[in-house]
Amino acid sequence: MRDAQADVARRAWIGCPRCADQNGCATCSVGSTCESHWRFLLAAEGRKLFVQCPGCWHRWWHDSGFGVGDRPHGIDPVVDFPGAGAAA
Ligand SMILES: [Zn+2]
Ligand SMILES: [Zn+2]
């Protein structure tokens, strides 16, 4: 099922290892931000991204490999905002 943190405003262009629906897609093969084959970006920890496939609901940690030149498109750092009432 869809993760509670899944937000269409936070997406990552990473191939899904389970359904691999990006295979054979011309847009994905050139590294563009495909309208069909994106994943929900749920969390980030260091260079690891926790993503969910909207096609098969598979969730997994993806090593983005920051610093080696293959950073996926469309990745924004995830910032944890303090909850209401936490401000001093
Ligand atoms: Zn999938
Ligand atoms: Zn695609």
- Cα 84 to ligand 1 centroid, rounded to whole Å: 34
* Per-residue confidence band for 75, with pLDDT thresholds at 50, 70 and 90: low
Beta bridge partners of 61: 50
- Cα 85 to ligand 1 centroid, rounded to whole Å: 38
- Cα 33 to ligand 1 centroid, rounded to whole Å: 16
Distances (CA, A) of 18 to 4, 66, 68, 78, 82: 20, 23, 25, 25, 34
Q: Is 5 left (phi over 0), alpha (psi -120 to 50) or beta?
A: alpha
Alpha-carbon radius of gyration of the chain: 14
Q: How far apart are CA 75 and CA 42, in angstroms?
A: 11
User: Which ligand is located closest to the Cα atom of residue 19?
Assistant: 1
pLDDT tens sequence across 22-58: 999 999 999 999 999 999 999 999 889 999 999 999 9
Could you tell me the pTM of the whole model? Answer: 0.71
- Cα 7 to ligand 1 centroid, rounded to whole Å: 16
Residue 88 in this model has a pLDDT that exceeds 60: no
